[in-house]
Copies of this chain bind each other. A is one copy, B any other.
Amino acid sequence: MAKQIPSLGYALLGLIHQKPSSGYDLRKIFSSTSMKTYSDSPGAIYPALRRLEKQSLIRGTVEEGSGLRRRQIFRLTAKGLAELKRWIELPIGRDDLSSGLKIVMLRFAFSEKAVGPSASLEILKSVEAALGPHLRDLGEKLEAMRPFAPTSGRLALECGIRSYESLLEWTRYSISIFEKQLQGGRRET
């Protein structure tokens, strides 16, 4: 059925949901903003858009009003929004931390607009819960390798640990922001 959309596909879905865009717009976002982890090559984006369209997750309409060149603007369909929500609300476990934070952060970034602040808070709490055991685990690995590995190898692992510690601080900070926002005056998107 939903034949396993790659993460680029979800990045496109989320961006299109935030603002209907053409393929060219999306390429510029990938090349100019901090989303450089995704390729801005036409050979990646245009086929990906066509796949999403074939699955009826987005629909493209040709713009010609402004006298400019043919530009196809894509918008999410109801099905596309549902799929985006489903993906954002997937449970988060330890695997999602170790195998690339990128995807979790992407889901979080889109969560507020696509599902609502409570979903953002949910993601943050899952991340916080997963970070504890994960950090303990990394610490044990560091101790285990300490006598054997060269300095650079140890430091590389320490770098990972520090980055997860910094993530934990950020998570708590962000949780407090969303809790304030949810408990206090309810504010719209």
- For A160, list chain B residues within 8 Å (CB): 34, 105
Instruction: Determine whether A66 belongs to the interface, using a CB cutoff of 8 Å to chain B.
Output: no
In the complex, which residue of chain B has the Cβ closest to the Cβ of A142?
Answer: B34
A150 touches B113 (CB 8 A): yes
Known: A34-B141, A98-B36. A177 touches B159 (CB 8 A): no
Interface residue tally on A, bucketed by range: 35 or more
Instruction: Determine whether A120 belongs to the interface, using a CB cutoff of 8 Å to chain B.
Output: yes
- For A63, list chain B residues within 8 Å (CB): none
| Contacts of A170-189 to chain B: CB distance below 8 A | 170, 174, 177-178, 181, 189
Known: A165-B166, A167-B163. A152 touches B111 (CB 8 A): yes
| Contacts of A35-61 to chain B: CB distance below 8 A | 36-37
B150 touches A112 (CB 8 A): yes
In the complex, which residue of chain B has the Cβ closest to the Cβ of A113?
Answer: B150
Instruction: Determine whether A2 belongs to the interface, using a CB cutoff of 8 Å to chain B.
Output: no
A151 touches B112 (CB 8 A): yes
Instruction: Determine whether A109 belongs to the interface, using a CB cutoff of 8 Å to chain B.
Output: yes
Residues on A close to B: CB < 8 A? 18, 33-34, 36-37, 98-100, 105-106, 108-113, 117, 120, 138, 141, 150-153, 155-160, 162-163, 165-167, 169-170, 174, 177-178, 181, 189
